[in-house]
Amino acid sequence: MGPIRGQRKRKRADKKEAAAAGSSSQEQTSDWWDGFSRRIAGPLSMSKESKKFESVFKISRKTFNYICSLVREDLMVKNFAFNDGKTLSIDDQVAVALRRLSSGESLLNIGVSFGMNHSTVSQVTWRFVEAMEERGFHHLRWPNSEEEMGSIKSKFEKIRGLPNCCGAIDTTHIMMCLPSLDPANKVWRDHAKNHSMVLQAVVDPEMRFRDIVTGWPGSMDDFLLLRNSGFFKLCEKGGRLNGNKMVLSEGSEVREYVAGDEAFPILPWLLTPYQGSQLSESKSEFNRRHSATRIVAQRALARLKEMWKIVQGEMWRPDKHRLPRIILVCCLLHNIIIDMEDEERDEMPLSHIHDTSYKQQFCNFADKDGCVLRDKLCQYLSGRLPP
């Protein structure tokens, strides 16, 4: 499967919205969890919190019920069974898949924990991934109205004052454990000498993914990945970041843009910080505000890896065609937790470190119009913009 992009035409939109609206009518009773929790065995059962739903799945029951409502129709197609012969319910299947994605544990360990064959864990997880791709994709989309984009701009400006900012962009590496002796795997070897796949994400102020691209090998630098993305092509053609401009002063206005770090180029719609050690106070102040804005993307990627540990550690010989789809579904689940205002997310630590073994990349490409925009913003923020 090729690179995953963050925008796709929705089909059966009415049906999906109906599923969302009907989720409250399909809430579980406590009976399901009482029965399922009694099956927990192996290392997981040793935890003092193993009988508490939230400690096992890191989400609320409300969010769990909603996810079940999204995939219910697709998971009813085929039956799976526990080792004792009991058929897995829809809730059982979702629970197994979520545990696999959130814990990152092996198929064998998950099977031991819940009393089923590891091959069943694999099949259940993959059917869940396929169902989420189809039913949950409306949770990852670019803002489709001026009102929605206006809200995003306002929230970004409240962070540290950057006006008309529409997103923060960053990339991270998804580690893979591949045999180095296989010549075909050299392309996946990145700058840190690891095998990895890269994920590029554009994030809104609430750490929600608005556009993602993945499937490309870790050997690609951030600039090349950006240029090969659908996001880049849309922005270059005026399909995105081409909305309302903000008037700073008479005859001076700022277009829409996203904020990225030094690994990205300066473009008319992508602003990066000033580089160098001898910067003026106004440029240093711009960099501080810019850093406080783009850290939202870093935190989103760190939260993604912390919550969905299947993309955090090294995957043993992953299927390189399925991995992008797993990454996509983890991003969808990340967004669903935000959209559901899940109270469990507040219990997770907030970090911005997501690529610990990687050095900062630097890109020297600078578009003239992008430089003019950055200088204009720098002057505005320092109060030196002509009236």
With H, G, I as helix, E, B as strand and everything else as coil, classify residue 34: helix
pLDDT of res. 378: 95
pLDDT of res. 24: 39
Counting residues of the chain whose pLDDT is more than 90, the rounded percentage is 71
Between the alpha carbon of residue 375 and those of residues 146, 241, 257, 286, the distances in Å are 26, 19, 14, 9
φ/ψ of residue 258, rounded to 5 = -120, 160
Which pair of tokens denotes residue 10? 């929705």
- pTM equals 0.90
Helices (H), the chain: 13-21, 30-37, 42-45, 53-57, 61-75, 90-103, 107-114, 118-135, 146-160, 222-227, 230-236, 281-307, 323-339, 368-381
pLDDT of res. 4: 59
Task: Examine the pLDDT at 1 and tell me if it is beyond 80.
Answer: no
Which pair of tokens denotes residue 212? 């993602």
Task: Examine the pLDDT at 163 and tell me if it is beyond 60.
Answer: yes
pLDDT of res. 350: 74
Q: Which helix (H) or strand (E) holds 169?
A: strand 165-177
Question: Which band of pLDDT confidence, cut at 50, 70 and 90, is reported for residue 25?
Answer: very low
Query: What is the length of the chain?
Result: 387
Instruction: Give helix 146-160 / helix 281-307 axis angle, nearest 10°.
Output: 110
Q: What is the mean predicted confidence (pLDDT) over 364-381?
A: 95
pLDDT of res. 305: 94
Q: Measuring CA to CA, which residue among 235, 165, 158 is closest to residue 377? A: 165
Q: What is the mean predicted confidence (pLDDT) over 18-37?
A: 59
**What is the average pLDDT score of the chain?**
89
Q: What is the mean predicted confidence (pLDDT) over 119-137?
A: 97
pLDDT of res. 20: 44
Q: Measuring CA to CA, which residue among 274, 130, 260, 135 is closest to residue 200? A: 260
- Provide the residue ranges of all domains of the chain, joining segments of one domain with +: 13-138, 141-318+343-381
> Please, which residues have CB within 8 angstroms of residue 104's CB and are 6 or more apart in sequence?
308, 309, 310, 311, 312, 313
Task: Examine the pLDDT at 208 and tell me if it is beyond 90.
Answer: yes
pLDDT of res. 3: 56
| CA distance linking residue 282 with residue 116, whole number of Å | 61
